[in-house]
A = this chain, B = another copy of it.
Amino acid sequence: MRSVRIGIIGLGNMGTAHAQYISEGKVLGAELVAVCDINKERLEWARHHFEEGVQCFEAVEDLLAFDGLDAVMICTLHYTHPDYAIKAFSHGLHVLIEKPAGVYTKQVREMNEAARKSGLVFGIMYNQRTNPLYVKLREMVTSGELGEIRRTNWIITDWYRSQSYYDSGDWRATWSGEGGGVLLNQCPHQLDLWQWVIGMMPKRVRSFCSFGKYRDIEVEDEVTAYLEYENGATGVFITSIAEAPGTNRLEVIGDKGKVVVENDQINFWQLQMSESEFNRVNTEKFARPKSREVPLTVPKEESGHHVITQNWIEAMTKGTPLIAPGEEGINGLTLSNAMYLSTWTEDWVQLPIDDDIYYEQLQKKIAQSTLA
């Protein structure tokens, strides 16, 4: 079988990394045939760095029109992902986008619709979905081992960024350039994992974003969000770029036990009898359900980007199910869009959010920006 011929759009940090490992043959059945970047220096570097056969384009349109391609990876600025993906589908190309799926759900929904109509393979680079810790936790939820989910709490404050980071590019941390702060740039993996491991999206969100509290930026640098789910479960998500040393601790409570993922470990306390059952049968005033800590071993394997790329290739060549279907990129984005909207409107946001209202509010923020 012929290798899948890959084009990479955008040679920033991520695009370069993907181009590199593919050109080194680390993805079976894939071949790097084209790259694209508007930055002439990056392109010149690519011309010398990759094999002679690799086509180098300055314009995305030219790469997409190149007829030696089967698939593209889109690694450009957040805002452009949906537009380029839609164009790629119209050229009959399979697509893998970097996260986040986009900046606002309206454009991402259009992308998903285009993907669906095209019948092509559409993936998103949620490589943390291969992290054995979260894979294990998801299995425990899916299998029913944890029981009905009641509460989650994710404190993810180890995304330290100093002012010098924000000053390193004037598109950074602006509504027009990136469309958000820590939620959109640092947290997409956690926001995706959060809904993926428990298999639920909330029904409503109340959120408290601080904009430019610890840094001279217009977007958010600290967030506390409270979520409610259809089954009665609640969730809290806390993030910050100004804490050191940060915390990365996910606690998930089910009717049958508790899991904590922290410090690259997963800890599980299993109840002898589910809490709801215990509550039903217990007659002693101060008795508590008995639990034991169950040792869990999870593989130490790397949760690399190439695993997602390999899976995407196999979805094309063998029909393997995608680990991270592109259409699911809207879930994490919906969470962050809802968190902004709740802060801006000082109110609950019901899910699914109203795409148009969010889009309008975002345009307002861009228009009101004193930057760029």
Identify the A interface with B (CB < 8 A).
150-151, 153, 155, 157, 160-165, 168, 206, 208, 210, 213-215, 222, 224, 226, 228, 232, 234, 236, 238, 240, 242-245, 247, 251, 253, 258, 269, 271, 275, 278-280, 282-289, 291
Closest B residue to A240 by beta carbon equals B151
Q: A160-B288, A258-B247, A289-B160 are in contact. Are A242 and B275 (CB under 8 A)?
A: yes
Q: Is the CB of A243 within 8 A of B247?
A: no
Q: A243-B275, A275-B244 are in contact. Are A164 and B283 (CB under 8 A)?
A: yes
Q: Is the CB of B253 within 8 A of A243?
A: yes
Q: Is the CB of A269 within 8 A of B251?
A: no
A37 to chain B, nearest CB (A): 20
Q: Is the CB of B208 within 8 A of A278?
A: no
Closest B residue to A282 by beta carbon equals B162
Question: 26 A–B contact pairs at CB < 8 A?
Answer: A150-B243, A151-B222, A151-B238, A153-B155, A157-B253, A161-B286, A162-B278, A162-B279, A162-B287, A163-B279, A163-B280, A165-B285, A165-B286, A206-B206, A208-B228, A208-B234, A210-B234, A214-B279, A215-B279, A236-B238, A243-B275, A244-B288, A244-B291, A245-B288, A245-B291, A247-B251
With the chains together, A116 CA to B164 CA distance in Å?
Answer: 53
Number of identical monomers bound together in the oligomeric complex = 2
Q: Is the CB of A234 within 8 A of B251?
A: no
Q: Is the CB of A234 within 8 A of B258?
A: no
A202 to chain B, nearest CB (A): 12
A258 to chain B, nearest CB (A): 6
Closest B residue to A290 by beta carbon equals B244
With the chains together, A150 CA to B275 CA distance in Å?
Answer: 35
Closest B residue to A169 by beta carbon equals B285
Known: A155-B251, A163-B279, A244-B289. 8 other contacts (CB 8 A): A157-B253, A162-B284, A164-B282, A164-B287, A165-B286, A168-B285, A243-B275, A245-B258
Q: A155-B153, A282-B164 are in contact. Are A234 and B243 (CB under 8 A)?
A: no
A19 to chain B, nearest CB (A): 22
Closest B residue to A232 by beta carbon equals B213
